[in-house]
Amino acid sequence: MKQKFNIIKSTCIPVAIDNCNTDLIIPARYLASTTRDPKFFGDAFMHDLRYDANGKPVADFVMNKPEFSEAPHEGCHEIIVGGQNWGSGSSREHAAWAIAGYGVRVVISSSFADIHRNNLLNCFVLPVVVTPAFQQELFASIAKDPQTIVTVDVPNQTVTNEATGHSEKFEINGYKKHCLVNALDDIDYLLTQKDKTEAFEKTMKKY
């Protein structure tokens, strides 16, 4: 799951669903796992939109369309462009595992739900917040040409729609950027801070 981030240049999967909640990203019945098997969670990604009740692929769902159905690999479908308020609802990190397990490295949206956004970062999937105008232009570019390339430059914090040449700066704090570029996670950092935590415990007021 840990991977280093630098510059990602890839085609995208447009999932133009506003308020796409984590129940849609991964239905509850796929939470009943005690492991973090990427294949299991990747297969469950958007399951009930991808497949009908008989397990047959839903032809008109975007991920099943020929131009978007290829499994993500370098340069191909590593980016999802999502609708606004992406990842609302349940805190299930399984939603981030599903996205990561499917092979996606970046989700672009005009807004993310807070818990899901943290979960994505902790799973080394980069949530990129863009303006609604940039998001809509991306959807339009991809609709026109499914091969539209988007470049996400993590060190410089820019996202570029290569079809139009339009670029935006995105926010990420210096600590988290350092973590992503160097494939470091929060738990390892916290484990190095135990002295500070113990010192804090001695001074804190309970009531």
Partner 1 sequence: MANTLFDKIWDSHVVQVIPDGPTQLYIDRLYGHEVTTPQAFDTLRDKGIKAFRPQQIVAMPDHNTPSDQQEVINDPIGRKQVDTLAANCKEFGIKHFAMGTKDNGIIHVVGPEKGLSLPGMTIVCGDSHTSTHGAVGALAMGIGTSEVAEVLASQCILQSKPKSMRINIEGKLKTGVTAKDVALYIMAQMTTSGATGYAVEYAGSTIRNMSMEGRLTLSNLSIEMGSRAGIIAPDETTFEYLKGREYAPKGAEWDKAVAYWRTLKSADDAVFDKEVTYRAEDIKPRITYGTNPGAGIAIDECVPTLDGLSDAEKAQLTAQLDYMQFRPGQKLEGTPVDYCFLGACTNGRIEDFRAFASIVKGRKKAANVVAWLVPGSWLVRQQIIDEGIDKILEESGFELRLPSCSSCLAMNPDKVPAGKLSISTSNRNFVGRQGPGARTVLASPLTVAASAITGVITDPRKLF
Phi, psi of 114 (to 5 degrees): -60, -45
Distance (Å, rounded) from C-alpha 82 to C-alpha 132? 11
Distance (Å, rounded) from C-alpha 163 to C-alpha 165? 6
Provide the 3-class DSSP secondary structure of residue 90.
coil
Q: Which of 96, 98, 126, 142 binds partner 1 (CB under 8 A)?
A: 96
Measured from the CB atom, the residue of 147 and 197 that comes closer to partner 1 is 197
CA 51 to chain centre: 21
Distance (Å, rounded) from C-alpha 178 to C-alpha 192? 16
Give min distance, CB of 2 to partner 1, in A.
11
Q: Which of 10, 11, 118, 148 binds partner 1 (CB under 8 A)?
A: 118
Give min distance, CB of 151 to partner 1, in A.
24
151 near partner 1, judged by CB under 8 A:
no
Helix ranges restricted to H, 16-83? 22-25, 38-44, 47-50
CA 68 to chain centre: 17
Give min distance, CB of 76 to partner 1, in A.
27
Provide the 3-class DSSP secondary structure of residue 64.
helix
Measured from the CB atom, the residue of 24 and 77 that comes closer to partner 1 is 24
Contacts of 100 (CB under 8 A, 6+ apart): 1, 38, 41, 42, 123, 124, 125
Contacts of 89 (CB under 8 A, 6+ apart): 21, 22, 23, 113
Kindly indicate which of the ranges 6-14, 64-72, 154-162, 184-192 contains the residues binding partner 1, using the contact rule CB under 8 A. Answer: 184-192
115 near partner 1, judged by CB under 8 A:
yes
Q: Which of 50, 77, 92, 105 binds partner 1 (CB under 8 A)?
A: 92
91 near partner 1, judged by CB under 8 A:
yes
105 near partner 1, judged by CB under 8 A:
no
187 near partner 1, judged by CB under 8 A:
yes
Give min distance, CB of 114 to partner 1, in A.
5
Stretch 46-85: interaction string toward partner 1, x if CB under 8 A:
--x----x------------------------------xx
Token look-up 């990203």 returns: 25
Summarize as ranges the residues that interact with partner 1 (CB under 8 A). 18-19, 21, 23-24, 27-29, 31-36, 48, 53, 84-85, 88-94, 96, 111-115, 118-119, 122-123, 173-176, 185-187, 189-191, 193-194, 196-197, 200-201, 204-205, 207
